[in-house]
Amino acid sequence: MFKFTPEQFIAHPIHTSAFVMDFAVLLFMPIIRPPVILSIILLCILVYLSMFFGAKLAVPEAPKQPGV
Domain count, the chain: 1
pTM of the model: 0.74
Cβ count within 10 A of residue 60: 6
22 burial type by CB count under 10 A (0-12 exposed, 13-18 middle, 19+ buried) = buried
Q: What percent of the chain has pLDDT over 70?
A: 91
The answer to the question of residue 10 being in a domain is yes
The answer to the question of residue 64 being in a domain is no
pLDDT tens digit string along 12-39? Answer: 899 999 999 999 988 888 787 878 898 8
The answer to the question of residue 67 being in a domain is no
The answer to the question of residue 65 being in a domain is no
The answer to the question of residue 48 being in a domain is yes
The answer to the question of residue 1 being in a domain is no
Q: Which domain holds residue 32?
A: 6-57
